[in-house]
Structure 1
Amino acid sequence: MTTAQARREEIYRLATTAGLTSVEELSQRFNVTASTIRRDLALLNDQGKLARTYGGALAIGAHPEASLRQRIGEAFEEKQAIAQWAAGQVQAGESILLDGGSTVGALAHALRDRSGLTVTTPALNTVQELADSPGIHVDCLGGRLRSVSQTFVGPLAEAALERMTFDRVFLGADAVTADDGICEADQAQTRLKELMARRGADVYVLADSSKLGQRPFHAWVRLPLPWTLVTDADADPHEVELFRRAGVRVTIAQGAHAGTSGRLDAEEAS
């Protein structure tokens, strides 16, 4: 049986020699759970050896930001569970703001058959999801398009937000920590998220468990309390507790095929 230290050394070697290393590939290679691999990657990240990405790791020095297209298939079941829970919070007649990202895009997909909603978004994937939904009025935030995230950012999008308020705001995240908030690859994106959070009565951050406690980039936005973190059943209980201690409400969304390592019961707590 491979020891934990030997496994981590091999993960580092693979990332250094092969570049991108996925959680799924490593889980199969070492015959351990995805949660175990995520903990290995988190430790290697803390040691400065690897940079965490969506669904895997890169050797330090490689560009770690994945495109929206790459992210859509990663942690698919976890994102679906999060999206279904979030969709259940949305009520007819509400005006909601949907951020960019694959998890929030899954929420847009879950809302397609609703009626009586107004959805505002800076994200092309959400526009595409809702373009043919007759019961949903869609408003788009314009601005400069970031091709990697497929979202509009910048002064035009920020100015449009100043004229709007929302019943609920759903934000995505490259990573999220209890002390510093949402981590992103781009300062313009964090600036827009900060403004989004100010315009909503209820604010939710949709982030699968692999993003909790991670610091892959250097652009941050700290959200004013209260806000709700929505994550999946593989969330590390220690990370969840850190968020709760910081005053963040935490919801664990249960999916049909959620993992069992570190599993938490579905709950919402402050």
Structure 2
Amino acid sequence: MRIAERHRYITEKLHSAGAVSVASLAEEMGVSVVTVRKDLQLLEEQGLLLRSHGGASLPSAFVNDRPIAEKQDVRAEEKRLIAQAAAGLLQPDEAIIIGSGTTVDAFARALPRSFRGTVLTAALNVAGALAAHPALELVLLGGVVRKSAASAVGPYAEDMLRHFACNRLFLSVDGISPDFGLTTSNMMEAHLNAQMCRAAQQVVVLADASKFGKKGFGRICGLPEVDLIVTDAALPELYQEAVEAAGVKLLMVGKT
């Protein structure tokens, strides 16, 4: 078996059984125990399992709300590469919406100084990164500030969005589930993000591979409502196939 095939086999086995043993995996896949342990280590680094003595189990599929400062350095290099790739998609004079979160914050910082257009955002860190940008017009959505995300939420921000039509939304999420869709850990942010999706002609999701297979409390939209997902090359083949089956384009960055 190739490494991608082994990883798919292990994740499928985990989702059906809930737990696996190193010995049984080695026997079933016809590889050494050392190879299985390396595979489990790689999958754990992607957030797809939790290793234990002699085996592995599924991590909790549900994500909790964490402060943005705590998430800033998690998979920072992957976020940087994703942000750069997403910034390369921009066209002059576009009107775009940027959501909240650490990945879209990296995206805002990756916008070239020459980019000419309009940016709508409710995220204070995104607004701060773009406030002195020489060539763009910045529109800050108002509302109650959700401190853990440094972002405004609520009916005022949602009402403002109804007055705009934008080319693209660049959205960061807490979880991507093939069956449940895009989610975040806060229901008010999820509702605002859903409104952002309706205000944009194209929905672009920026999410590293660890977000796949996870669920947050608040559902934003279904996977088929997304146009493009920009992620890193560590995304397991299982999720690549699910994204493509939903009719969503996939842009993967970084080393394979």
| TM-score bracket, shorter-length normalisation | 0.7 to 0.9
Say if 2:83 and 2:103, in contact at 8 Å, map to a contact too: yes
Bigger CA radius of gyration? 2
Higher relative contact order, structure no. (Cα contacts within 8 Å, ≥ 6 residues apart): 2
Where does structure 2 lack aligned partners over 5 or more consecutive residues? 1-19, 23-36
Say if 2:205 and 2:226, in contact at 8 Å, map to a contact too: no
Residue 230 of structure 1: SS of its match in structure 2? strand
Residue 107 of structure 1: SS of its match in structure 2? helix
Say if 1:122 and 1:141, in contact at 8 Å, map to a contact too: yes
- After superposing on structure 2, the runs of 4+ consecutive aligned residues of structure 1 that deviate more than 2 Å are 30-36, 41-46, 50-53, 223-226
Within a 5 Å distance, the mapping from 1:61-80 to structure 2 comes to 64-80=64-80
Identity rate, percent: 31
Post-superposition CA distance 1:48-97 (Å, at most 9, x none): xx4665xxxxxxxxxx3221111111101111111011101111111110
Within a 5 Å distance, the mapping from 1:39-118 to structure 2 comes to 39-41=48-50, 44-45=57-58, 50=60, 64-118=64-118
Measured in 2, the distance between the counterparts of 1:152 and 1:44 equals 37
- Please, what is the CA RMSD of the aligned residues? 2.3
TM-score (norm 2): 0.78
Shift of 1:233: 0.6
Measured in 2, the distance between the counterparts of 1:34 and 1:166 equals 42
TM-score (norm 1): 0.74
Where does structure 1 lack aligned partners over 5 or more consecutive residues? 7-29, 54-63, 264-270
Residue 39 of structure 1: SS of its match in structure 2? coil
The residue that corresponds to 2:181 in the other structure is 181
Seen in structure 2, the aligned counterparts of structure 1 residues 45 and 184 have a Cα distance that, compared at 3 Å, is farther
Say if 1:180 and 1:221, in contact at 8 Å, map to a contact too: no
Within a 5 Å distance, the mapping from 1:1-270 to structure 2 comes to 5=21, 35-37=42-44, 38-41=47-50, 44-45=57-58, 50=60, 64-215=64-215, 217-223=216-222, 225-254=225-254, 258=255, 263=256
Measured in 1, the distance between the counterparts of 2:181 and 2:114 equals 31
Residue 89 of structure 1: SS of its match in structure 2? coil
Residue 50 of structure 2: SS of its match in structure 1? helix
Say if 1:35 and 1:234, in contact at 8 Å, map to a contact too: no
Residue type at the aligned position of 2:179: D
Residue type at the aligned position of 1:40: L
Measured in 2, the distance between the counterparts of 1:66 and 1:89 equals 29
Post-superposition CA distance 1:228-253 (Å, at most 9, x none): 11110110111111111122221112
Task: Report how many residues are paired.
Answer: 217
Say if 1:112 and 1:133, in contact at 8 Å, map to a contact too: no
Residue 225 of structure 2: SS of its match in structure 1? coil
